[in-house]
Structures are given as C-alpha cells and as structure tokens.
Amino acid sequence: MQDFTPLQGLRRNKINGASLSASRGSFPYDESCTLNVKFGVDGGIRDSFRHEIWMDAHRRNDKYFRITYKMEIKKVTMGLAVKTLIKPAKAVKKASIYWTRNPEMVRLFEKKVWALIIDERRAPHIPATEEEARKKLFEFEASFQILGADVGRGNHTLRAQVGASWGRHIFSEKGTISGSSNSIKITCT
C-alpha cells in the first residue's frame, strides 16, 4: 500500500443516527425482549467511498477496507450509563475493491473497478450502485435478546454506546469514532 494522500475538505467523521429500540416496552420476568441497535458512519470516510477513489485505490494497491463496529448496551442511572447489560460486541464489515469485467462497466469506464461488500455475517454483496455500497458498508444494525433475569424486575432506562474504527488508507487516515444512542425505558414485570 502506498502512502496516505490527504483528501482536501473532507467532512468530519461521526456516528450518525444511533438508535436503540426494544421489541416491547414491558415484558414478564420469565420472557425475553429483543433490543435493536442501529447506527451509521457519516463524514469524510463515507464520502470517500466512491468510484473515483476506488479506481485510485486499486491502482495504488490499496484494495481492501475493513471497518470494525463496536456496541455495548448499558443501564442508565441518574442520567449516567453505568451498568453493562450487553457486553461490548464487535463486528467487522469489509470491502474488496476489484477489477470487474462486467460489460456494463467496460462500456462506462476506462478502468473497471467496483466494490464487493462483505457484511458482518460474512455474506458477500455486489452492490448495484455506489450509494448501495456505502449503505452496506457504513450502516450497521444488530439485535440482542435479553431475559428478565438480565435486567431484573422494575423499570429500566437503557442506552447503547457505539463506535467504529478503520485503518489507514490512501484516501483516509485511521479513525476511531464513538457515540451514544437515545435512551429507552423498559419494564420487566
């Protein structure tokens, strides 16, 4: 991989739209409830993930991009997220920037580069558009099941702490960002 060439005027990277939701607001102690965490990465790193940059990255042998997502769900007491309910979890998404022989691309571009996205379940996707590629790579969603015993009886406020990190590339410095979701209230009866 060649040296990093800073791209000018990139937006600051940040966690976008972090949200936590529960499958139900109230659930009996001996049943379970599903918590859903959703967030995205926005800013320069996302903007850079586009065809023009893929072409340059491919030419300069920088063909593989990994982004690690981290999340943790905590109980909130007195406005502070203090007790871990769901231990920090990690998931990785990847993009392989490859030279396609897709005849559509052959017609469109001199150098025919596209991106294959590998999601956190190791499932491959060939996106139809650049925007689809960005969505698949920079948006993340995970679900966790909790039992009544995990939270205990009563009312609880929960919040997710989320983050993302990636390494250095010809189009970006390494980055680590973090954020918090909204708080939700659940009741275990």
> Between 10 and 22, whose beta carbon lies closer to another protein?
10
Joined tokens for residue 78: 């007195």
Give the angle subtended at the CA of 42 by the CAs of 157 and 53, to the nearest 5°.
155
Q: Which of 72, 74, 69, 73 is nearest to 90 (CA)?
A: 69
Write each residue from 66 to 105 as x if it is in contact with another protein (CB under 8 A), else as -, in one continuous string: x-x-----------------------x-x-xxxxxxxxxx
Phi, psi of 48 (to 5 degrees): -70, -20
Q: Pick the closer one to another protein by CB: 7 or 22.
A: 7
Distance CA 158, CA 20 (A): 8
Among 10, 21, 135, 183, binds another protein (CB under 8 A): 10
Interface ranges with another protein (CB under 8 A): 1, 9-11, 44, 47, 50-51, 58, 61, 63-64, 66, 68, 92, 94, 96-106, 108, 114, 116, 118, 122-124, 126, 128-131, 166-168, 174
